[in-house]
Amino acid sequence: MFFISGLLSGQVSFNAKTSKKRLGINERLRIDFTMNKDGDEFEPPEFKNFSVVGGPSQSINNSWINGVRSFSKTYSYFLAPKKRGVFTIGQATIEIDGEVYKTLPVKISVSAAIEKPKDPNDPNYIASEKIHLVAEVSNSKPYLNEAITVVYKLYVAQGVGVRNSREIDKPRYSDFWSQNIDVEGLGAQQGSYKGEDYLYVVLKKTVLYPQKTGKLNIEPLSLDVTVEVPSNRRDVFGRSFTNTVNRRVSAGKRTINVKPLPEKGKPEGFSGAVGSFDFKLKTNKKELKTSEAFEVNLEVSGNGNLKLFKLPALILPSALEVYEPEHIEKVRTLVSGMRGRITDSYTVVPNDPGSYPIPSVSFSYFDLKSKRYKTLRSERLIITVNAGAEQSNRPEGKTNKNTNVADVKQFQPFRTTANFSPVKSKLFFRSFLFWVLLLGPFLLIPAFLFFIRSRKARALDVVGNKIRRTNRLARKYLSEAKNSLGQKDQFYNALERALHNYLKSKLRIETSDFSKDKVRELLNDKKIGLTDLEGFVSVLTSCEIARYTPLSSVDMENDFEKAAQVIIKLDKQLK
């Protein structure tokens, strides 16, 4: 009987256990991979047809009861099905004592969505009632090309915490011109949701200009949110335990009914400008010579869809040579829409002297305040062109109407004055760079000798080298924990593994012997000071308590520094 019981206790078990075998597509599944002996290189299965919404989380149970030791280690995952059907979760593998062990495949049946019971103690139900993502639209019935703003807010009830959030589906605005507005910080603000007090965070702001009429859909924004829900249980210090759940929230699809611009009163040449604008026609010169050029600027400024319409064309007398305009935009997109000005700048060259009229130009837009079309007209300008030097030398009665395009004088208005300076060439021989390259190697010899002596002195510094070695050892084992600062579960799991691996390498103990009582016994045998011994054990205790208590980043940093100091002190005493 003793022989058989010894064989049974030495067997390795590695099993997969699920929280349920049948579930609805709106439910979630927990799967645990449990082993009775620690191992290395755990490989989870490929969760096809499922999304991993939580995990992996790791838990270790190591206890002694009546002199009998029991050990178990579990990797847990939370899965959400992607579609209905019968699916198989494959095998997980782990290596224990040089042998590879595998779990059995598990079949899961996913049905249509089911109505979940409203259990007030269920963390998932609490999270669904306390977390809401809302898309607030400034105007659900805009005109074509009228600006609307969509603000995405995450409402959180008091007493519930949000650890982090991740976008899983971004909205696409296929029938809109869109521009995202930068959100500075994610500060919580007081607000109200369905008549109740909430805290909310503005996640995203987007300005939209509808480009079609009729009913247009704004696709929803979806987030995966990690929520900390308080429970009724408390620890020995009276602090409430929290349950961490993952919740998918969606802002829902919004429908915008876009009204067409009225046909009544629409002016001829209307190019689609909607908003409130001013219109100007300006020139930089009103009197010049034939050897000069001037600019004519058509400028529209104000609020509206400035980037979505064209300015009217400028028509000038045929005696003036006009070049293609340069389009200039100085527009900012704010929450209320576009604001700024756009300009078409024409360069004009007169060929002959005389007085040239620039006719009035009209610009039409739809005014949103009065709900009517408005037309703005510029003033009629006169440009006086006097004869230049080349004109005064021409015979009387002859003009330059048949100017040859290839004549170089047509580019005379664009003449520039070059400011060239001679390039002074210097010989490399006996230059400053020559002497630096020649004498530099000789000057580096003393520095190299000083470096060699410093290396030798450092090699002979036994105490300093030992301190530096222990510091590197502490950083080596604690690097993974340091990278996980701010994430409670990952941090304390990594910290516990670091302490475990350190003792395993220094004391040559196996994973199965890793308990606080065994650690005390081994450290006492190595004549470790009582203060350092209790410091090491207290860090292990903090790792165990941390799984059940909420901690801040400051607590994690304190535990990290404490663990680093403990490793350094132990390494000075362990041979």
Q: Look at residue 406 in the predicted model and tell me its pLDDT.
A: 41
Task: Give the amino acid at 369.
Answer: K
- Separation between Cα atoms, residue 131 and residue 245, nearest integer Å: 12
> What count of other Cβ atoms lies within 10 Å of the Cβ of residue 219?
16
Q: Look at residue 9 in the predicted model and tell me its pLDDT.
A: 47
pLDDT along the chain (575 residues), means of 10: 49 86 84 86 87 82 73 87 88 88 90 66 76 91 94 87 80 88 82 85 92 90 84 63 81 89 91 94 89 91 94 88 92 92 93 89 94 93 81 48 44 62 70 84 85 78 58 65 75 78 68 65 76 79 71 73 80 71
272 conformational bin, left if phi > 0, alpha if psi -120 to 50, beta if neither: left
Q: Look at residue 140 in the predicted model and tell me its pLDDT.
A: 92
Q: Look at residue 404 in the predicted model and tell me its pLDDT.
A: 39
**pTM score:** 0.50
What are 179's two structure tokens?
A: 């521009």
Do the first three CATH levels of 2-111 and 277-393+407-414 match, i.e. the same topology?
yes
Q: Is the CATH number 3.30.200 carried by domain 462-573?
A: no
Q: Look at residue 400 in the predicted model and tell me its pLDDT.
A: 44
Q: Look at residue 339 in the predicted model and tell me its pLDDT.
A: 94
Q: Look at residue 523 in the predicted model and tell me its pLDDT.
A: 77
Q: Look at residue 412 in the predicted model and tell me its pLDDT.
A: 55
Q: Look at residue 22 in the predicted model and tell me its pLDDT.
A: 87
Of the candidates 107, 33, 45, which has an alpha carbon nearest to the alpha carbon of residue 72? 33
On the 0-12 / 13-18 / 19+ scale of CB atoms within 10 A, 233 is exposed
Give the fold, CATH level 3, of 277-393+407-414.
Immunoglobulin-like (2.60.40)
Angle value at C-alpha 185, between 182 and 187, nearest 5 degrees:
130
Give how far Cα 505 sits from Cα of 129, 473, 509, Å: 50, 11, 8
Q: How is residue 405 annotated by DSSP?
A: T
Which residues have a Cβ under 8 Å from the Cβ of 219 and sit 6 or more positions away? 169, 171, 172, 173, 253
Of the candidates 37, 29, 52, 33, which has an alpha carbon nearest to the alpha carbon of residue 102? 33
Residues belonging to the chain: 575
Contact indicator for 77, 47 with CB cutoff of 8 Å:
yes
CATH number for 2-111 (one of 3.40.50.2300, 1.10.1040.10, 3.40.250.10, 2.60.40.10): it is 2.60.40.10
Task: Give the amino acid at 192.
Answer: S
37-72: b (≥16 Cβ within 10 Å) or e? bbbeebebbebebbeebbbbbbebebeeeeeeeebe
How do the domains of the chain map onto residue ranges? 2-111, 123-258, 277-393+407-414, 462-573
Q: Look at residue 463 in the predicted model and tell me its pLDDT.
A: 54
